[in-house]
Amino acid sequence: MATRARKPKDISSRKSAHVPGQLFGYSLQPIRLLSLALDAPAGTTLSLEVFEDVGSVDGAGNAIASQTKTGLESNPVSDKSVDLWKTFSNWKAAVNSGQLALATTQFEIYLAKSRTGKLVKLFHDANTEEEAKAALAKARDLFWGAAPKYPKKKDIAESLALFVNHVLEDPTSEVVGIIQRFTLAAAVKNPLKDLRPKVADKWVQPESVEAVIQHAHGWIKEKIDGLILEGKPAALNVDDFNAEMRSFLPRIDFQHILAAIAGAIELTADTIAAEQLRTYVRQLQLIEGSEEDVIEAINQFLRASAERSAWSKQGIVHDKSFDEYEEALVSFWKNKRKIHDITSKNLPEVDRGKLLLADCGLHQQKLQGLEPPPFFTPGSFHALAEVETVGWHPEYKILLSPGAEDGDSK
């Protein structure tokens, strides 16, 4: 691994970011591991919970020991944080035992949300031996007071004293070296969003980034879980990771496919019950749609809605493109309805409605010249049915009007 560049001095000015709920569907450690994998040179071994929360060792033996913390509810790097001092105490013990080689290890605390403190900023900023010793002196003065009696030492909280005293006690040469090699890192936006420009720069166009991240994260998690179940160290070779991604990328025609990024929808009993009251479900009931048809429509409707919001929010699809897409769907529906009025006029109206729904369900309309996921077009038709722009039963407008009986059909 290449020698680390001089550390940036201003960490307190980084923007704080609320990490969205999606983060809780992922663990922070594999996300950090994936981020390191994107930058790692060939021959690097990446690990979880082997010598640190997240570890990286390149072919030359240069290591990164990354302690990951969310920082969502409290500040894990405040001056008197047990988490902070326990981390440095563990690093000192690992160096003393030979588990970590001081000369070839970079020490990192990685936060999902930007946090700082006076002492941890001093530690982060210390690049020379003199700066590291000065930072330790500040810490010793805060916790112990003036030498040689150290009057404050006895007042340190019991939960903190064990770790603080272990770090500050002589000899401190190991701790000085750790501080010189320490970095406080934090997500700029949030850990997941920070991956996107890395993936885009390394592999693909922006519209395909989420699909690649999901596959990469899933592959890492599957491999790590498998190793843990086998009782083996959770360590991966970055060459295997890169080989997997090289084999995955050609499977997707990124120039023609608009990747789904919002994720699957969990259909709970409460969700289904709530959706049963909506107009697009009533439209299915007018043509005697089965329970299976209704569940499928609910899933398509909700996923298409979530996908549209995600694409719009990230600027992948312009709002005008959505308008043009819906106009094309309505035009298709109108033409198909006219055809069925001629070719299927002798069928019962319920059957004609089923045929029209089937035709629309099989239609795949391009969005911004790209093929959307299979559920998006049917889900978009249901969204149009929700506002009665389209309908399946020939008389759906009348049957859905105020005073008409639900489910009444001719």
Residue that is written with structure tokens 């299915």 in the block: 284
In percent, the amount of the chain with pLDDT more than 70 equals 88
Lowest mean pLDDT among 32-41, 108-117, 170-179, 236-245: 170-179
Query: Parallel, antiparallel, or unpaired: how do β-strands 45-48 and 235-237 relate?
Result: antiparallel
Main-chain dihedrals φ then ψ at residue 21, nearest 5 degrees:
-60, -25
Statement: residue 228 has pLDDT above 90: no
How much is the mean pLDDT over the chain? 87
Q: Count of CB atoms within 10 A of residue 315's CB? A: 9
Closest alpha carbon to 87 in 52, 122, 63, 56: 52
DSSP-H helix ranges across 190-316: 191-202, 209-229, 238-248, 269-275, 279-286, 291-313
Q: C-alpha distances in angstroms, 387 versus 138, 289, 310, 378? A: 66, 19, 21, 15
Q: Where are the alpha helices (DSSP H) in 249-365?
A: 269-275, 279-286, 291-313, 319-343, 349-362
- What is the reported pLDDT for 15? 33
Each residue of 299-349: pLDDT tens digit? 999 999 999 998 888 778 888 999 999 999 999 999 999 998 998 889 999
Angle at the Cα of 320 from the Cα atoms of 317 and 323, rounded to 5 degrees: 105
pTM value > 0.95: no
The confidence score (pLDDT) of residue 315 equals: 78
Q: What is the pLDDT of residues 175-211, one digit of tens each?
A: 999 999 999 999 988 888 888 888 888 876 666 777 7
- Token pair of 400, please? 């859905």
Instruction: Kindly report the three-state secondary structure assignment for every residue of 102-126.
Output: HHHEEEEEEECCCCCCHHHHHHHHC
The mean pLDDT of 152-160, rounded to a whole number, is 95
Asked if residue 371 lies in contact with residue 293, where contact means CB atoms within 8 angstroms, the answer is no
CA distance 209 to 204: 6
Give the residue from 7, 4, 19 showing the smallest Cα distance to 114. Answer: 19
